[in-house]
Structure 1
Amino acid sequence: MTIHIGANPGEIAETVLLPGDPYRAKWAAETFLDNPVLVNEVRGMLGFTGMWRGNRVTIHGSGMGMPSLSIYANELIRDYGAKTLIRIGSCGGMQDSVEVRDVILAMTASTLGTPSRGIFRELSFAPCADWSLLHAAARAAEDKGVRTHVGGIYSSDVFYDERPDLNEQMVRHGVLGVEMEAAELYILAARHKCRALAVLTVSDHLLTGAALPSAERETSFGDMVEIALHAAFPGA
């Protein structure tokens, strides 16, 4: 047990999927895993461990924002031995070529700052995904026929952004979408020699104002979860 995770030793799998919303973790575990078992509910942050096609998987909430994600990813890696961590979440589209319901595979994650910023001081570290996960996810998305984009995203440290000038530069430089966690996840994975990837469903669009209707979210998010699972276990 750790300060924020109440799971006993051995109850967390080496492969962990990380949605921000704990109730999305519950939905994903009950929908995609065989015999999911609740292993954490400290502070309402739900985590479940079960089986997917003979492979052991944990689906655990991370909360919103990089500080929250950093807490859970650190403890999952350092105290429970997680080796593969895949963020599954929503994002806002930032390019005309990206549409609501599309999936973005984040190759890199730009950011103004993360909880790890103090370590690097003057260095502008470039957080990136694990290539084996990225490649396997791209193939899984292609096999499923899901519209997918591979490239850079922006991990914001604020939700209510008041920097339209910065958003303009993100669009200008080809950033595909914006979310709030991936950059810190990629940094922690690099630090601890783990694998990490962010698989993101475009739920709304900053340029067009389009948004995914709530009734359609589960279907679209289901594609994202399946892509993440196939990325983690490409032979399953």
Structure 2
Amino acid sequence: MSRVPTAHNAAVEGQIAKTVLMPGDPLRAKFIAETYLENVTCFNTVRNMLGFTGTYQGKPVSVMGHGMGIPSIGIYSYELFNFYDVDNIIRIGSAGALSDDLDLKDLVIAMGACTDSNYANQYQLPGTFAPIASYTLMQKAIEEAQKKGISVAIGNVLSTDVFYNANKGANDAWKSMGVLCIEMEAAALYMNAAQAGKNALCILSISDHIYKGTELSAQERQLGFKNMIEVALGII
């Protein structure tokens, strides 16, 4: 019996491309589909987590929101990898900078994703799992950014479960370990990809700086991440 559609995704077999770009905000997915893709069809509106398939420079690609946090991306990416036979998921999202070398709209490629989440507990591993990006996708993203003259920072990020953290020393501790920025999803995406034998990458655009006190507006977060989107599209 077919496992699709699911309770979260109305798509049927064949409606989703092998490569999916995933912003957190479903309205950003809609913006990307309408701005960059041709021959677009909408495959999902369940819970308003919009999903679209089209072509970019003649290549099929899908774009779908994943919501906020590890539980949300955990569901959507698991279903895409395991039920819809997606091979590559590229998260394109926002992040809060920790590194003094980062500024608003700078790009970060998450080579690894630290986390304070308990997501890996389900695998019952005899140790601590280190979630990492697909080297192939990461190399392509670096090359695409270089080709476009876009500088990127590459390294560890933090995928946290906590947006408003009661532990006031947490950011200082992660920064002291060289973590570049904070987001909320990459670790689960990388774990799901590892278990499924698929490829995942997280490309982030800095929306605020935790130490410098600067931030983008909600409108700028939704529409202003042109470099990140174009680097991701360039590697499909």
The TM-score bracket by the shorter chain reads over 0.9
8 Å Cα contact 1:114-1:157 kept in structure 2: no
Q: Among the aligned pairs, what percent are the same residue?
A: 42
- Normalising by the residue count of structure 1, what TM-score does the alignment of the two structures yield? 0.94
**1:76 correspondence with 2:80:** yes
1:14 paired residue number: 18
**1:51 correspondence with 2:51:** no
Q: Give the match's secondary structure for 2:169.
A: helix
1:117 Cα shift? 2.2
Aligned residue identity for 2:82: R
Tell me whether 164-173 or 78-87 shows the greater mean CA deviation: 164-173
- Normalising by the residue count of structure 2, what TM-score does the alignment of the two structures yield? 0.94
1:186 paired residue number: 190
2:160 paired residue number: 156
Aligned counterparts of 2:194 and 2:131: Cα–Cα separation in 1 = 8
* Poorly superposed stretches of 4+, deviation over 2 Å: 114-118, 212-220
1:78 Cα shift? 1.2
Aligned counterparts of 1:113 and 1:216: Cα–Cα separation in 2 = 28
Aligned residue identity for 1:57: V
Aligned counterparts of 2:90 and 2:224: Cα–Cα separation in 1 = 17
8 Å Cα contact 1:66-1:114 kept in structure 2: no
1:147 Cα shift? 2.8
Q: Give the match's secondary structure for 1:62.
A: coil
1:230 paired residue number: 234
User: CA RMSD, aligned part only?
Assistant: 1.4
**1:132 correspondence with 2:136:** yes
**1:27 correspondence with 2:31:** yes
Distance 1:2 1:214, change over 3 A: closer
Aligned counterparts of 2:151 and 2:226: Cα–Cα separation in 1 = 14
Q: Structure 2 unaligned segments of length 5 or more: list them.
A: none
**1:40 correspondence with 2:13:** no
Task: Map Cα deviations across residues 143-197 of structure 1 (whole Å, 9 max, x no partner).
Answer: 2222310000000011112222221111111101000000000011010010100
1:109 paired residue number: 113
Q: Structure 1 unaligned segments of length 5 or more: list them.
A: none
